[in-house]
Structure 1
């Protein structure tokens, strides 16, 4: 564990196991290079995140990238999350280009240059898969949150990630299932199982993640009020529960809750802070929205 500029850097046990295996098989130089590529990949994420003022508490390095623990959580804009996510694969692009240049000038052998180019390509493309917590999964969530509610974004992201990580596990054992001579693909199986378990936990924690999103709405509201912004109305009936109304919130929007009769008569209009605070203070999500006025 190393702490550098306020961020704790750790190596995930999965990476340690692969490193020990590489020593036994004589591929330590290749793995050390992979470690360096992954480290620079994560530096790209951290540099852009801190450029936006995020607090990055910890980065865990994995064989295919890393997992960053960010203090700001769901309170950051989707655009910032997308830029932070894409910053990692962009590091692999310039490193692959540099490896090609070193190979062309003869400073590196053609074989080693091709290895580094291939390793960067694999890391970048794998991380762009739409599976959480990979960069592609974060890009997927950022895009979804621009088009649908945040609660639905969490659910769709979890389901897609579970399906694709499960498919990765099946693909890894497919040769064995068909009785092929190549057998199981151990590296792909280990990574697939890791992603499957991670997303299984993520799916179970959706209520907590949504609650964290709600607790950050005060910061979001202040940001909108400071610079001025359009308010996106949410129209609900007087029988709507607070929980149902909260699930209609979008990530980068400020909301006004309009309680309306079926006839079209407006009974009340309240800012989103009133709804969020009403829920957080008494923790009764099944209360009707209209009760907040009584």
Structure 2
């Protein structure tokens, strides 16, 4: 996998992308492949531009044959609506490019054949990325929507489990219908989802760390009340924390425990199995 840096963002091109480029050269379709590469880059630039406008730190963009994956540091504990806006930024640029291709055909600047190819390419890339499979844009949107109604841990685990099943189904259907290219993409998505699922405990700690950092920097967020039993373990209560908000944890019969104090106990004092009524 090759990589370089642009304005502090690491850009990586997956080996599958180079394989597809090599195949396109053998088939005499380098111009079409180069066009797809440019479309994917513009798609990812949409994510990066909106994320930076929201103040997020973009650490990496990985380019794949079917799109790309942008990694942002703040994507764990931020407002779910911000995540949805960032996820939709890429497909939105695809829609603009589809309108651009129609305009170029209408004015006679492009031939109908090339305009249709450009339009269909954008439609396929946008449509595929909106599939509800992690880490595609659609999968990120599904997880963000779930975060409105569920604690972060429950929302993330549910979306990853669903994504894994959908990727496996996609692989099965593509294999049975002998669509090798789709099967390879589905296999890649399945592997990514399994890896993410296995690494989720680490990702959850990242979520807690991001919430603690926001407290430390005094960032203002919506405040929610959370009622728990005095015998609930600190780690169990952390599993109830939601994304994009601050909690006041009401411990029955004891008092109100600030979220920052709970996070400090879990992250730095290693009091995972301590009853929350003992954290006062």
**1:22-37 map, 5 Å:** 22-37=24-39
| Distance of aligned partners of 1:230 and 1:3 in 2 relative to their CA distance in 1, 3 Å threshold | closer
1:119-156: CA deviation from partner (whole Å, max 9, x where unpaired): 00000010011111101111111111111100101101
Does the 8 Å CA contact 2:75/2:83 hold for their aligned counterparts?
no
- The TM-score normalised by the length of structure 1 is 0.90
Please point out which of 197, 222, 227 is paired with 1:235.
227
Report the Cα distance in structure 2 between the residues aligned to 1:110 and 1:231, rounded to whole angstroms: 55
* TM-superposed deviation, 1:222: 5.5
Tell me, what secondary structure is at the counterpart of 1:76? coil
1:31-56: CA deviation from partner (whole Å, max 9, x where unpaired): 11100100110111111111112111
Report the Cα distance in structure 1 between the residues aligned to 2:260 and 2:181, rounded to whole angstroms: 48
Please point out which of 165, 187, 191 is paired with 2:181.
187
Report the Cα distance in structure 2 between the residues aligned to 1:148 and 1:259, rounded to whole angstroms: 20
1:208-251: CA deviation from partner (whole Å, max 9, x where unpaired): 1111111111233367x654x65312111121111111111111
Quote the residue 1:85 is aligned against. 87
* TM-superposed deviation, 1:72: 2.5
Does the 8 Å CA contact 1:60/1:66 hold for their aligned counterparts?
yes
Tell me, what secondary structure is at the counterpart of 2:242? coil
Report the Cα distance in structure 2 between the residues aligned to 1:257 and 1:77, rounded to whole angstroms: 20
Question: Number of aligned pairs?
Answer: 278
Specify the structure having the higher radius of gyration (Cα): 1
Quote the residue 1:109 is aligned against. 111
Please point out which of 209, 229, 238 is paired with 1:215.
209
| Distance of aligned partners of 1:42 and 1:279 in 2 relative to their CA distance in 1, 3 Å threshold | same
| Distance of aligned partners of 1:230 and 1:103 in 2 relative to their CA distance in 1, 3 Å threshold | closer
Does the 8 Å CA contact 2:212/2:264 hold for their aligned counterparts?
no
Please point out which of 146, 149, 154 is paired with 1:147.
149
Please point out which of 38, 49, 57 is paired with 2:59.
57
Quote the residue 1:203 is aligned against. 197
Quote the residue 2:9 is aligned against. 7
Does the 8 Å CA contact 1:75/1:219 hold for their aligned counterparts?
no
Report the Cα distance in structure 2 between the residues aligned to 1:75 and 1:245, rounded to whole angstroms: 16
Segments of 5+ residues of structure 2 without an aligned counterpart are: none
Does the 8 Å CA contact 2:79/2:245 hold for their aligned counterparts?
no
Please point out which of 270, 273, 278 is paired with 1:283.
270
Does the 8 Å CA contact 2:134/2:160 hold for their aligned counterparts?
yes
Report the Cα distance in structure 1 between the residues aligned to 2:52 and 2:246, rounded to whole angstroms: 25
Does the 8 Å CA contact 1:249/1:255 hold for their aligned counterparts?
yes
Report the Cα distance in structure 2 between the residues aligned to 1:284 and 1:278, rounded to whole angstroms: 5
* TM-superposed deviation, 1:64: 1.4
| Pairwise CA RMSD | 1.5
- The TM-score normalised by the length of structure 2 is 0.95
